[in-house]
Amino acid sequence: MTTVRSVTALLNDWSRGDGDALNQLLPLVYAELRRMAARQIRAERANHTLQPTALVHEVYLRLVDQRQVDWHNRAHFLGVSARIMRRILVDHARRHGARKRGDGVQCMSIEDAKELAAAPDVPILALDQALDRLETVDPDLAKIVELRAFGGLTIEETAHVLNVSPSTAKREWRTAKAWLNRELGTEPQG
């Protein structure tokens, strides 16, 4: 099917370094993610497959022609998804961030209240900024965090995406976590 081939082609282009291909992939994958999520909530389906990882895998199965791609394309796709997840979360946090601080708004909407309640658990903006800093220090580590934390990839998948051995990926992941832990511990949380 077509869908399929164009996403496959885009993945190939992206893995060859065509940045524009990524921009074309993002809306596609994002739309599909949302569609799948919406569909899964309604349908009598495995609720436990509504985990981002499973979701991403399923979206991948739908968008990409299994017969046409190899493992590396799959890995690239997971990389794209991780980037999207990060972007979605950060945009979301940013959009509601201003209101959260209560700039003179007397009454708060239910959305804001949700944000406020959810905020202490996941300091997304702080994490995003810390990741940006990590990227200047060690881009590979930043990439690992994006894949593992935002994309929900396993160590093995992460290793494939980055083309390193799983043991290296595991070591790097541990290092990245320690670095971020230290960084976030000293930074005021946003």
Partner 1 sequence: MTDERWQRVKELFQAAVERPANERHRFIADAAGEDDALVREVESLLASDGADLHALDRLPLAVESLIAGSHTLSTSVEDQPNQTLAAGRCIGPYQVIALVGAGGMGEVYRARDTKLNRDVALKVLPPLVASNPDRIARFRREAQVLAALNHPNIAAIYGFEESDGVLALALELVDGVTLADRLERGALSLDLVIATGRQIAEALEAAHEKGIIHRDLKPANIKITPNGGVKVLDFGLAKAFDSSPDAALRGVPTLTATLDREHSLLGTPAYMSPEQARGRPLDKRTDIWSFGCVLFEMLTGRAAFGDETISDTIARVLERDVDWSALPSGTPARLRDLVGRCLRKDVNRRLRDIGDARLELDEALLPAASTVVSPTMPTSQRWRRVGSTIAIMAAAIFATAYVTRLDRQAPAPVFRQLTFRHGTIGGARLAADGRTVVYGATWIGAPPELFIIRPESLQSGSLGLLHAGIYSVSSRGNLAIALACRLNWGKCLGTLAEVPITGGSPRPMMKDVIDADWSPDGQRMAVVSFTGDGYQLQYPLDRVLYEPPGWITDARVSPKADRVAFLDHDELGDTGGSVATVDLNGNKTTLSTGWKSLQGLAWSGNGDEIWFTGSRRGKGGSSALYAVTLGRRERTVFSSPGTLKLNDISHDGQRVLLTRGTTRGGIMGLGAGAAAERDLSWFDYSTVADISADGRTLLFYEWGEGVGATPTIFIRRTDGGEAVRLGEGRPLALSPDVRWVVALQGRPDSQLTLLPAGTGDARRLPRGSIVEYLDWAAWSPDGRRVFFAARETGDVRRTYVQDADGGDPRPVTPNGFVGMGVSPDGRTIVAVDRYGEYYLCAIGEATPPHPLAGYRDGDIPLQWSTDGRILYLREGGNLTVRISRLDVATGARQFWKELVPPDPTVVIDIGSDPGQVRITPDGKSYVYTYWTFEGELYLAEGLK
98 in contact with partner 1 (CB under 8 A): no
**Cβ at position 76, least distance to partner 1 in Å:** 15
CA count, 13 A, side-chain hemisphere, 47: 2
User: Does residue 147 touch partner 1 according to CB under 8 A?
Assistant: no
Written as six digits, the tokens of 129 are 């900024």
Return the closest-CA partner of residue 80 out of 161, 2, 160, 184: 161
Tell me how far, at minimum, the Cβ of 131 lies from partner 1, in Å.
10
Does residue 54 touch partner 1 according to CB under 8 A?
Answer: yes
Total binding residues for partner 1 by CB under 8 A?
78
**Does residue 85 bind partner 1 (CB under 8 A)?**
yes
The CA distance from 149 to 52, in Å, is 10
- Note whether 152 binds partner 1 by CB under 8 A: yes
Task: Identify residues 154-183 at the interface with partner 1 (CB under 8 A).
Answer: 154, 156-157, 171, 174-175, 177-182
In the chain, the N- to C-terminal Cα span, in Å, equals 45
132 binds partner 1 (CB under 8 A): no
Copy the structure tokens of residue 182: 């230290």
Residue 12 contacts partner 1 per CB under 8 A:
no
The only residue of 13, 52, 129, 162 in contact with partner 1, by rule CB under 8 A: 52
Smallest separation (angstroms) from partner 1 to the CB of 17: 20
Q: How far is the CB of 115 from partner 1 (least distance, A)?
A: 9
Q: Which two three-digit tokens encode residue 94? A: 């940013």
Q: Work out whether 123 is an interface residue with partner 1 (CB under 8 A).
A: yes
Contacts of 117 (CB under 8 A, 6+ apart): none
Residue in 33, 69, 90, 159 binding partner 1, rule: CB under 8 A: 33
Question: Distance (Å, rounded) from C-alpha 134 to C-alpha 119?
Answer: 22
* Residue whose token pair is 């389906």: 45
